[in-house]
Amino acid sequence: MFSNSLIELDRAHLVHPVASYRGHEQQGVRVLASAKGATVTDAQGRQLVDGFAGLWCVNAGYGHDSIVEAATRQMRELPYATAYFGLGSEPAIRLAAELAERAPGDLDHVYFTLGGSDAVDSTIRFIRYYWIARGQPQRDQFISIEQGYHGSSTVGAGLTALPNFHAGFGIPFEWQHKIPSPYPYRNPAGEDPQAIIAASLAALKEKVEAIGADRVAAFYAEPIQGSGGVIVPPKGWMKAMRNLCRDYGILFVADEVITGFGRTGPLFACTEDDIVPDFMTTAKGLTSGYVPMGAVFMADHVYQVIADGAGASAVGHGYTYSAHPVSAAVGLEVLKLYEGGLLENGVRAGARLMAGLESLKAHPLVGDVRGRGMLAAIELVTDKAAKTPLSADAAPARRIFDRAWNNGLIIRAFANGVLGYAPPLCCSDADIDAIIERTAKTLDQTLEDPDVRRTVRG
Ligand SMILES: Cc1ncc(COP(=O)(O)O)c(C=O)c1O
C-alpha cells in the first residue's frame, strides 16, 4: 500500500536523471528504504549487495554513525555559512587544507562545488579566465576523449562524449573537440600498451595541430573512463598525455570524480599515475554520497595567474552552497574513516574483486575483465574471437540489471553489455564473494535466454 502509493507519486511528479521518461512511467520506481555497510534494503524488505556504491559514490559504505554525528553537530552549531563577502566556516577551511596537503604536487587551492558536474563546469570558467589573464584570449578550444564523461552541465556535457548527453540538447559546441578513447579491448592499434599510448599521443598531436597549438586551452581526461564503460588505459598513458600537454603549454585537467577517494586504491589515482595535473575535479567519494559536495583542485601556478589577473576585482564565479559547512564536516569525517582503515580494506577487497571477476573469464559470455582497485568491469560478447557485443535487441542494460537485482545484486549494466562494479571500500570478503557468485548466476541465466543462446559462438 505504502509502496504502491509511492510508485504512483513518483510516476506523477519525480523526473528521474538520465531515464526514458516513458519507460520509467511504465516500469515504475524501485524504492530503496535503508542500508548498512554494503547492503541496501528496498521497500519490500529485499536485501541486495550494492556492487555499485549507489552511483560509484558511497565509498565508505552505508550507516557510519560518526558521519551522521559530524553532520548533526555541524547542523546544530552552524548549518550554513556563506563563503561570499570574505566569510568562512571552520570545517570548510580545514577540509580545504587537509585536501591540499594530500593532493599531488602544487594542487594547493580548493574550490568547493555541489558535485562533479559543477566542478567540471567551474574548471571551464577558471581556464577561460586564466588564459584571458595571461593575455591569450584566443586559447578557447577544449579537447576531451571519446567515451569520456565530464558531467551533465550545459557546457560540461559537451566535454562528455556519450551520445545520450548530446542528442536533443544542441551540443557539443564547436569549441569542444574529441580524440579517440584508449579503450585497450577495442583499440584499432591492438592491445599492446605502448602502441595504445603512441596512438593516443598521435591523435592528440594531430588534433592540436589541426586546431592550432596556440588556440587550445585545455585537455580533459579521466584516469579510468567510468561512465564510458570502465575503460582502463595502459600504465603510463596518463603520464604520457600529461607530458604532451605540458610540451604544448595546454592545461591538463584530471577528472577524478569517480577515481578519487580510494576507488582505485590511493586517495587520488593521479598519484598512482605519477602525475600532477593543473586541475583535478572530485566529488562523490569526497563526502561518500552522504551529502552533496564536489571540489576543484587548482595548481598554485594557475591560482597565481588568476589572482594577479583579477587584482582588486572579484573573480565572478560562485555558488550559494560553495564550501557548505555541513558537507565539509562530513568530508572531514569521511577522510578520517578512509585513512583509519577503509583505504586499506578497499585495496584488499579490490584484489579479491578482481580475482573473482578474472575467474569468470572462462564463461562463454565474458570477453574482457578489467579494473583497478574497487573499480572494475566485465564486457560481455557473443563471440570471443570476433569480440561481438551482445545484440542491442537483447537490451542487456535492462535485462541484466533486473536479473542481477532479482539475484540480490546491484551493478551498473551499460547498454553495450559492459557490467560495471564499484562496491563500497568497506566490503567484507563475504560481500565480494556474494558479488561474484550473483554475477555468475546472472551470466548463467542470461546464457540460457534463447535469443542470447542462439548468437553465442564457442
Ligand atoms: C568523471 C566524472 N566527471 C563528472 C561527473 C559528474 O558528477 P555529478 O554527477 O556529481 O554532477 C561524473 C559523474 O559520474 C563523473 O564520473
pLDDT in tens, 426-449: 999 999 999 999 999 999 999 999
* Cα 401 to ligand 1 centroid, rounded to whole Å: 21
Which of 95, 93, 144 is CA-nearest to residue 123? 144
Output the CA angle 319-323-327, nearest 5 degrees: 115
Judge if the beta carbon of residue 286 lies within 6 A of ligand 1: no
Within a domain: 68: no
What local confidence, expressed as pLDDT, does residue 3 receive? 60
Mean pLDDT on 183-198: 97
What is the chain's Cα-based Rg?
A: 22
pLDDT band at 458 (very low <50, low <70, confident <90, very high): low
Phi then psi for 381, rounded to 5 degrees?
A: -140, 165
* Cα 83 to ligand 1 centroid, rounded to whole Å: 24
Residue reference for cell 545484486: 409
What local confidence, expressed as pLDDT, does residue 76 receive? 98
What atom of ligand 1 comes closest to residue 153's alpha carbon?
11
| Cβ within 8 Å of residue 415, ≥6 positions away | 392, 396, 397
pLDDT band at 1 (very low <50, low <70, confident <90, very high): very low
pLDDT in tens, 127-149: 999 999 999 999 999 999 999 99
pLDDT in tens, 85-105: 999 999 999 999 999 999 999
Within a domain: 58: yes
Judgement on whether residues 40 and 141 belong to the same structural domain of the protein? no
Does residue 257 have a pLDDT over 60? yes
Helices and strands, counts by H and E, the chain: 16, 16
Judge if the beta carbon of residue 226 lies within 6 A of ligand 1: yes
**Which domain covers residue 412, as residue numbers?**
31-63+339-453
Tell me how many domains the chain contains.
2
Judge if the beta carbon of residue 151 lies within 6 A of ligand 1: yes
Angstrom distance (rounded) from CA 183 to CA 180: 8
* Cα 115 to ligand 1 centroid, rounded to whole Å: 7
Q: Closest residue (by CA) to atom 7 of ligand 1?
A: 116
Judgement on whether residues 152 and 253 belong to the same structural domain of the protein? yes
Judgement on whether residues 183 and 119 belong to the same structural domain of the protein? yes
What local confidence, expressed as pLDDT, does residue 2 receive? 56
Within a domain: 301: yes
Mean pLDDT of the chain: 97
Angstrom distance (rounded) from CA 5 to CA 9: 6
Judgement on whether residues 101 and 193 belong to the same structural domain of the protein? yes
Is the pTM value of this prediction over 0.85? Answer: yes
* Cα 44 to ligand 1 centroid, rounded to whole Å: 30
The 10 Å CB-count burial string (b at 16+, else e) for 327-361 is bbbbbbbbbebbeeebbebbbebbebbbebbbebe
What local confidence, expressed as pLDDT, does residue 457 receive? 84
Task: Please state the length of the chain.
Answer: 458
- Among 276, 299, 323, the domain-final residue is 323
Within a domain: 13: no
Within a domain: 364: yes
* Cα 150 to ligand 1 centroid, rounded to whole Å: 6
What local confidence, expressed as pLDDT, does residue 419 receive? 98
